[in-house]
Amino acid sequence: MTSLSDDVAPAVAALDTIVSLGKRRGFFFPSSEIYGGINAVWDYGPLGVELKNNVKRAWWRAMVQERDDIVGLDAGILMHPQVWVTSGHVASFSDPLVECATCKRRYRLDELPGGEDLTATELRDERIVERLGLVCPNDGGPLSPPRRFNLMFTSHMGPVEDEGSIVYFRPETAQGSYVNFRNVQQSSRRKIPFGIAQIGKSFRNEISPGNSLFRTREFEQMEMQYFVRPGDAASAAFEEWLPRRRAWYEAYGVAPERLRTREHAPDELAHYAKKAVDVEYRFPFGWKELEGVHNRGDFDLGSHARATGENLEYFDPVTEEHFIPWIVETAAGADRAAFTFLIDACREEEVRGEKRVVLGFHPELAPYKVAVLPLLKKRADVVEIARRLRDDLARDVMAVYDDTAAIGKLYRRQDEIGTPWCVTVDVESLEDGAVTVRDRDSMMQERVPVEGVKRLILDRLAEARP
């Protein structure tokens, strides 16, 4: 299963290129920047919010809209606190933390230089820091033995702040699907196998967040729980979902050679998992998880049934059996996926001796589908056609009007934010009623009657759809 292919070059050599493009063009900004920022939270700007919404829409289309066996759900972020006790998160949703005795900086042991390849057993070994002679990367000071640090954020519900009022900010959306299993199954009269899909915010008090949008403390997940018969049916579903999920990234433009799968070692498996494989991407900072596919067995529904005394069994009308369904989960991050599409789309090329930066987004992910550009902004009649065309296109797709520079610069600006098509209106348009449509990737230009532009854009979008 694990395909440890030889290393490949990342799409972009330095993460800084993406971070500065992201800020300059309005994809994402550090949160609360004018206050000096708050570590590991990012705000999406005008282009970023479009990109991320498009990513979520593409996922929802593949996972809910086009599937007649999967339905959607939007559960609350705050849940009964006992949910997180039953799920095992209160006891064991933690990472190994080490602290420098002199500068007091804290690190996640498996992200320290020298700690990256430690096995899950070694990460729990109290003497591991000493044995490997690990020191603080900041000042070379001695590091403490690892201790487990729980990643859940807590708060209090209601006016009294005591132990009894504690609530957790969910660290995953999955539990909302488990506790609603019976509600969803009965109200939508689903037969097994079927799935529940959710997109929503999750929170983790990560020890060492970083690499821009890659690891943040507030993020969005896109998770799907697939309920199946116990045993072989779960293994078969797992083997179907893993390639399907990897293919989803490829269908939206991620280079296949920068994707691989990695199976979790037995001592790395979470307490609930029978099998787990990550889809990984070659980020500028190494191979990292994009999405996890997990065979969770009957752990989730079994535990919630025991804790609540509720019957969460499924009755199979064909075989007349009662059983607790097993779950195959696909767990992706919306931010991490958007970040990946952004990195993988970025390319610099030379055209007629000039450099251009292009975000070669799949058209469906591109923030703007089309830009309408008047060649002469001083000609009121040209501007009027361009504005009218933009307004008409905007009823169906994200369309932008720009007349703030010369045409060459306007094209480069749209290339750099990944707009697949630019439409130019010129003086001739007044006579022949036609405009020029330019393709971002081939840079080919074609003359199209102004009334035919929308149809052309919508047809190209439909053709590109996976």
- Could you list the residues that contact ligand ATP (CB under 6 A)? 172, 204, 206, 215-216, 219, 221, 289-292, 331-333, 335-336
Which of 62, 148, 26, 103 is CA-nearest to residue 330? 62
Nearer to ligand ATP, 332 or 358 (CB): 332
Minimum Å distance from CB 270 to ligand ATP? 8
Q: Closest CB to ligand ATP among 200 and 420? A: 200
Instruction: Give me the residues paired with residue 448 across strands.
Output: 435
| Structure tokens belonging to residue 150 | 């729980």
Q: How far is the CB of 288 from ligand ATP (least distance, A)?
A: 7
How many CA atoms are closer than 13 Å to the CA of 172, on its beta-carbon side? 21
Comparing CB distances to ligand ATP, the nearer of 336 and 438 is 336
Question: Shortest distance, CB of residue 132 to ligand ATP, whole angstroms?
Answer: 21
DSSP 217: S
Nearer CB in complex with ligand ATP: 263/289: 289
Q: How far is the CB of 291 from ligand ATP (least distance, A)?
A: 5
296/438 with CB nearer ligand ATP: 296
Q: CB of residue 206 vs ligand ATP: minimum separation in angstroms?
A: 5
Residue 212 phi, psi dihedral angles, 5° rounding = 60, -125
292/418 with CB nearer ligand ATP: 292
Return the closest-CA partner of residue 460 out of 386, 366, 341, 338: 366
Is residue 330 a contact partner of residue 297, using CB atoms and an 8 Å limit?
no
The candidate with the shortest Cα–Cα distance to 363, out of 204, 237, 251, 195, is 251
Q: Closest approach of Cβ 289 to ligand ATP, in Å?
A: 5
| Distance (Å, whole) CA 51 – CA 412 | 19
282 or 336, CB closer to ligand ATP? Answer: 336
Long-range contacts of 261-268 (CB under 8 A, 24+ apart): 261/1, 261/2, 261/3, 262/2, 262/4, 262/287, 262/289, 263/1, 263/2, 265/119, 265/120, 267/119, 267/120, 267/121, 268/119, 268/120
Q: How far is the CB of 55 from ligand ATP (least distance, A)?
A: 12
Instruction: Let me know how long the chain is.
Output: 466
Report the alpha-carbon distance of residue 38 to residue 31 in Å, rounded: 6
CA distance 393 to 457: 9
DSSP state of 31: T
CB closer to ligand ATP, 99 vs 172: 172
Q: How far is the CB of 364 from ligand ATP (least distance, A)?
A: 20
42: phi then psi, degrees, rounded to nearest 5: -125, 150
In this structure, how many other beta carbons lie within 10 angstroms of the beta carbon of residue 54?
Answer: 22
Name the residue whose CB lies closest to ligand ATP.
333
* Residue with smaller CB distance to ligand ATP, 216 or 414: 216
Pick between residue 28 and residue 219 the one whose CB is nearest to ligand ATP.
219
Q: Which residues pair with 434 in a beta bridge?
A: 449
Structure tokens at 83: 């949910």
Minimum CB distance to ligand ATP, residue 95 (Å) = 7
| Cβ atoms 325, 227 nearer than 8 A | yes
Q: Which amino acid is at 143?
A: L
- When computed from its CA atoms, the radius of gyration of the chain, rounded to whole angstroms, is 25
- Least Å distance between CB 367 and ligand ATP? 20
- In terms of CB distance, is 198 or 221 closer to ligand ATP? 221
Q: Measured from the CB of residue 423, what is the shortest distance to ligand ATP in angstroms?
A: 36
Tokens of 143: 């590091």
Largest pairwise CA distance in the chain: 81
